[in-house]
Structure 1
């Protein structure tokens, strides 16, 4: 079951590996965007370009954490994911969720998916699909 609005953000523990770990911020002092994606998802790749722009706009006011949720066999290969992350210019942390522990906690079954949490870590916005980035920037501005 997917998270409901105003639900406290579940733990992000349980990743098999974290790429860009050096860029991790504390989750408690600013709004947090959790982005579920998969390397094999073409819509995700398009969304990441827009998400990188949003990340640059709100770089010091928004914490972005990505969850890589495998959909196909190649998605389980961390070195391929690492190469894709570099190719796409992603600099925020990527939690490799090969055992779907984090995805299950969120009740997430689809990519791309966006979960926006406020400063108190309460869910304020959820949307799935490539078009979510259109309304995402406005939601972030309202929360900040």
Structure 2
């Protein structure tokens, strides 16, 4: 995906955990953070508490959706996905992408990876890897602050 690309439809999940959301439900009122992770990814697990902190700090101003992207056959074990999600307090909706449908729609290759869409559903920021939380938080704050302004006052 390139900056300003539209959010893809959320189709092709092999399963949803913690509730299901649609693109139409996410676009409009607030920015959305997608975080791609995998049960076999050590960096993902290390970053999860930071993602949860963003989710909790901005719960009224930011949508957060987890996307479990399997990297191997072992990553397809639903019981293990549920267990790791519970251990790391992932309470936001989890799109289980067992067939890489959403991964392909995002053209994503990495875990952890983070995509932030503005309230109009346009991609505004992308990052992958470890040690990205400081910049990610800055981008979330910028979009949340933009949301506070009337739409007609926003800059493109």
TM range (shorter): over 0.9
**Residues 76-98 of structure 1: per-residue CA shift (max 9 Å, x gap):** 01111001101111100111100
Which residues of 2 match residues 1-144 of structure 1 at below 5 A?
Answer: 3-21=1-19, 24=21, 26-28=25-27, 29-144=29-144
Give the Cα–Cα distance (whole angstroms) in 2 for the partners of residues 36 and 65 of structure 1.
9
Structure 1: give runs of 5+ residues left out of the alignment. none
Partner of 2:11: helix, strand, or coil?
coil
Give the Cα–Cα distance (whole angstroms) in 2 for the partners of residues 54 and 40 of structure 1.
23
Partner of 1:125: helix, strand, or coil?
strand
Deviation (angstroms), 1:72: 2.0
Runs (4+) of structure 1 exceeding 6 A deviation are none
Deviation (angstroms), 1:118: 0.3
**What TM-score does the superposition give when structure 2 sets the normalisation length?**
0.87
CA RMSD, aligned part only? Answer: 1.2
Give the Cα–Cα distance (whole angstroms) in 2 for the partners of residues 89 and 77 of structure 1.
18
Q: Which of 1 and 2 has greater Rg?
A: 2
Partner of 1:121: helix, strand, or coil?
coil
Partner of 2:26: helix, strand, or coil?
coil
Partner of 1:21: helix, strand, or coil?
coil
Structure 2: give runs of 5+ residues left out of the alignment. 145-156
**Residues 4-49 of structure 1: per-residue CA shift (max 9 Å, x gap):** 0000011111100001016x48202210001111010000001111
Give the Cα–Cα distance (whole angstroms) in 2 for the partners of residues 137 and 111 of structure 1.
18
Question: Number of paired residues?
Answer: 141
Partner of 2:43: helix, strand, or coil?
helix
